Structure 1
Amino acid sequence: MKRQGLVVFDIDGVLRDVGQSYRRAIADTVEQFTDNQYRPTLSDMDELKSEGVWNNDWEASQELVYRYWVSQGRERESVGLDYQALVAFFQSRYQGTDTENFNGYITTEPLLVTVEYLQGLTDEGILWGFFSGATRAEAKYALEYRLGLSNLALVAMEDAPGKPDPTGLFQVIEKLDPDPALPVFYVGDTVADMKTVEGARAEQPERLWVAIGILPPHVQETSERSQSYSERLQSAGAQKVFKHVENLTVAEIQALIEG
């Protein structure tokens, strides 16, 4: 079958709902390291991530802690934040107390995609893979343990620089099919994801790059938040924004390829 293109998915907020897992772990961590003085809301986290450089949730947690203490009149240098202690605390909430058999917030995440959807892409000659800022173990938990996928074309935190650096996206493409004639869709839920496509386009302008935005479930509680978040993704380069990843149908993909 003739190959039509490549679709690379982010995982968090796209394939699994992390509003009460990663985001909850951020809130717990910031609260812990601000001496229970400040617990960021989901809107606070979205505002930070809209800056496009806080894709790593450990670093996002650290930044929110710093910004709180600065707002209280302290200098960053005087905070004395132990980054490794912060990461360990975060992981104790997200992965849980058993790093071999997760028992933390990760175990409660609703899935946002079905194997049938992915198989439907395959049936139409559309190859797919994953580029995520999650650790490899956390990504594989969703993809292998929860969805039952195998032979993954996956690039995770340990494998490449963080987004919006497009290196990881290029690595997934190499695993799938490096043919520059094949268009590439990157499907994500953050400004950093959209900027990753911009970076890839700048480095490889000969290929068709398409940035697809997905509204994570937590922003869909009101039409106002959905609209605002959608506009933010579009401003960052999203060519289309969907409420659900499976709205990116084969027909939508073909229409975007044809222009």
Structure 2
Amino acid sequence: MPNPIALAIFDIDGVVRDVGGSYRRAIADTVEHFTNGDYRPTPTDLDQLKSEGIWNNDWKASQELIKRHGQASGNAYTGDYDAIVDYFQEQYRGKGEDPSQWTGYITQEPVLMTANYLNELAKGGVPSAFFSGATRGSANYILRQRIGLENPILVAMEDAPGKPDPTGLYMTVKHLEKSVPPGLPVLYAGDTVADMATITAARAEFPQRRWLGVGILPPHVQTNADYQNRYGDTLKQSGAALVLPHVEQLTASAIGTLLEQTA
């Protein structure tokens, strides 16, 4: 690797993989199931909830949507948090713990990033890692089995508090700094308000370092130009220094330009 210029850390859902037909579908299935078929949230409903910046955990997001619909409709829906998690996981992952036996929506997720892209980033002086609210098993499934990464640096749900708490971001940076000089600018690429809030929180806590949020437009918002523009504006208002329609447009050259523009 040439002299490194920055660290690139990636969220996974909506950035590395398209979860429109998997995680988001599992949320809708779960809410519909626990509201006895009375309510199935739309993609817009899910985006509105996510825009609040505190519902990065999809199990808790499902629980919150069930709760809100119950309050709005005057119904007292049953189903505790553990039951919600179990049902969600059966839809998303399938039954069982062994990834080789998974049959759920996870097996159908389109991949948005290649190993070659990460290699080119490294050649351009930008080492990379991953910080995600996904479970470690789910994240490794896409990184190792689908993309083919041998030993990715990953901080997952089990390792750190949920976003927008920046603890997991700091942990990821610490892993990267085992092989690069300390203090390099950090870019965090994510697709939600919580992701941008995470980088904003890091900047507030450690202003002596450069922290840059890069918004990535998830595939489901790119089917409508107006919706795409509104979504991008929301990411910018939440702290994104740059918004891109595809993560692989965040090249080493683009990162160098962004660093110059924000110096």
Q: TM-score range by the shorter chain?
A: over 0.9
Aligned twin of 2:118: 118
Aligned twin of 1:92: 90
Q: How many residues align?
A: 256
> What is the deviation of 1:17?
0.2
Query: In 2, Cα distance between the equivalents of 1:206 and 1:152?
Result: 28
Check the 8 A contact 1:180/1:206 in 2, yes or no. Answer: no
> What is the deviation of 1:102?
1.3
Question: 4+ runs of 1 displaced by more than 4 Å?
Answer: none
> What is the deviation of 1:251?
1.4
Aligned twin of 1:32: 33
Aligned twin of 2:59: 58
Q: Taking structure 1 as the reference length, what is the TM-score of the superposition?
A: 0.96
C-alpha deviations, 1:183-238, integer Å up to 9, x for none? 00000000000000011111111111110000000000010110010011011001
Q: Which residue type is aligned with residue 90 of structure 1? A: F
C-alpha RMSD of matched pairs (Å): 1.1
Query: In 2, Cα distance between the equivalents of 1:96 and 1:53?
Result: 26
> What is the deviation of 1:32?
0.4
Check the 8 A contact 2:236/2:243 in 1, yes or no. Answer: yes
Equivalent of residue 210 in structure 1, options 209, 212, 215: 212
> What is the deviation of 1:149?
0.3
Query: In 2, Cα distance between the equivalents of 1:175 and 1:33?
Result: 40
Q: Taking structure 2 as the reference length, what is the TM-score of the superposition?
A: 0.95
> What is the deviation of 1:73?
2.4
Mapped pair 1:73 → 2:74 = yes
Q: How does 1:142-181 map to 2 (within 5 A)?
A: 142-177=142-177, 179-181=181-183
Check the 8 A contact 2:34/2:78 in 1, yes or no. Answer: no
Query: In 2, Cα distance between the equivalents of 1:244 and 1:235?
Result: 19
Check the 8 A contact 1:216/1:243 in 2, yes or no. Answer: yes
Q: Which residue type is aligned with residue 140 of structure 2? A: K
Please, which runs of 5 or more residues in structure 2 have no aligned partner?
A: none
Using the TM superposition, name which of 172-181 and 32-41 deviates more: 172-181
> What is the deviation of 1:79?
4.4
Please state whether the residue corresponding to 2:214 is helix, strand or coil.
strand
Query: In 2, Cα distance between the equivalents of 1:63 and 1:236?
Result: 22
Check the 8 A contact 1:180/1:207 in 2, yes or no. Answer: no
Identity of aligned residues (%): 54
Check the 8 A contact 2:135/2:157 in 1, yes or no. Answer: yes
Query: In 1, Cα distance between the equivalents of 2:82 and 2:194?
Result: 24
Q: How does 1:103-252 map to 2 (within 5 A)?
A: 103-177=103-177, 179-252=181-254
Equivalent of residue 258 in structure 2, options 240, 256, 259: 256
> What is the deviation of 1:81?
3.4
> What is the deviation of 1:250?
1.3
Q: Which residue type is aligned with residue 227 of structure 2? A: R
